[in-house]
Amino acid sequence: MKALGLEQISQVINQLPENPRLIVSGNFSTPLALVNALDSQLPEYRLNILNAQVGLPNRPGVHYETAFVGPGMRGSERLAYFPARLSLLPRLIKTHTLPDLVVLHTSTPRNGFVSLGSEVNILPAAIESARKHGALVIAQANANMPYTFGDAEISLTDIDYIFDVDAPLLVKELIEPTEVASHIGLRIAEKIKDGSTLQLGIGAIPDAVLGELRTRTGLRVWTEMFSDGVLGLRDSGALDTEQDMVASFVFGSQELYDWINLNPQIRMRRTEVTNSSGNIAQQPQMMSINAALQVDLFDQANSSRVNSRIYSGFGGATDFIIGALNARGGLAFMALPSWHAKTDSSTIIPKLIEPVTSFQHSYVVTEHGAALCAGESQEQQARNIITFAAHPNARDELTNAAHDLGIF
């Protein structure tokens, strides 16, 4: 491992092939100082980041790649989207999208290790792929990155270069749930019992659910990610303090980052562990909570595309839905508002025309109610979705469409 300053960046550039692929820490953990330094000397390259945030280099010659589109790449004409469940992405990195350079955002060294801190995800697989195929690994070591345990700890022997910075971490602004999100959160929370295990997705609805769970006890966490909602569970005593909280990445406030720093109860695991449907199915009363853009009368969800263009991706929703449905006492919730205000249209539609992201959920939940789907016949699923989840203004039209589709 060699220390690296701005003036030595060319040492890394000179070892890369033309148009190299850079696999970079994603979400709110992207090492922007290092990425910008590399960008200044690379005329053309492929930038592979999960859920990229705004502020990335954006110019001709920078080609985006991802399996989950974030706001920093959304709508770009230079985007290559790789459809993949998150659980399968580590395999893709080792067989198809091989890195030429892995760019990490880590803590400062501690006892011969650095920690990936708030973002583990697919990075261990990327490091392994780099080591196997002769690629480089470079770390932006930041004094402000929390030191977390589990698969987050990376030996300095696995890093070729280290680039020191002292920069604040990106934080996610706290947004109060809307009235609709609060109603949905309440309807889901009513079905979550003491001692349940939670998957906490991204967005207003999962945050609203957590806000309603503070009176529960013995709650466990096995999730792809969590944010500030867990702090409310901690403060209210709702968490099972004898169980580790397992996640693959974290983003939120500075208070959240301070809490996970050197916290032995937080175990950051690689994607292959957190998103294994087999591991998820072993969690007691596993509650999978995910959001959709549209749901149809066949209980199929579109969570990924708008007007056929990729908006996000599969993420880990399908991994957790399958795992939860196989868990003892598990439930898989698919949540969404019943009406889209901007288009003035129902989000419950007769039949998806967009590619299906997931299907077969326990409940489809809107602000109007929770429609039971698991274990119901196709006809009864549709009747439940219309009666309990659809907006009242759409129910007659959906009923007529169900007849036309031969459901009723």
Q: Please, are residues 41 and 13 in contact by the beta-carbon 8 Å criterion? A: yes
**Which SS3 state, helix, strand or coil, does residue 80 take?**
strand
Instruction: Give kind and range of the element (H or E) at residue 315.
Output: none
Of the candidates 86, 137, 73, 41, the residue with the CA atom closest to the CA atom of residue 357: 86
Per the document, the length of the chain is 408
Tokens 């596993």 label which residue? 286
E strands along 240-293, which residues?
A: 245-247, 249-250, 266-268, 286-291
Which one from 65, 119, 153, 224 is the annotated catalytic residue?
224
Q: Please, are residues 297 and 377 in contact by the beta-carbon 8 Å criterion? A: no
How far does CA 130 lie from the centroid of its chain? 23
End-to-end Cα distance, the chain:
66
Burial of 122 (0-12, 13-18, 19+ CB in 10 A): buried
Tokens 């609060």 label which residue? 182
E strands along 350-396, which residues?
A: 358-359, 363-366, 369-372
Q: Is-catalytic flag, 212?
A: no
Residues annotated as catalytic are 224
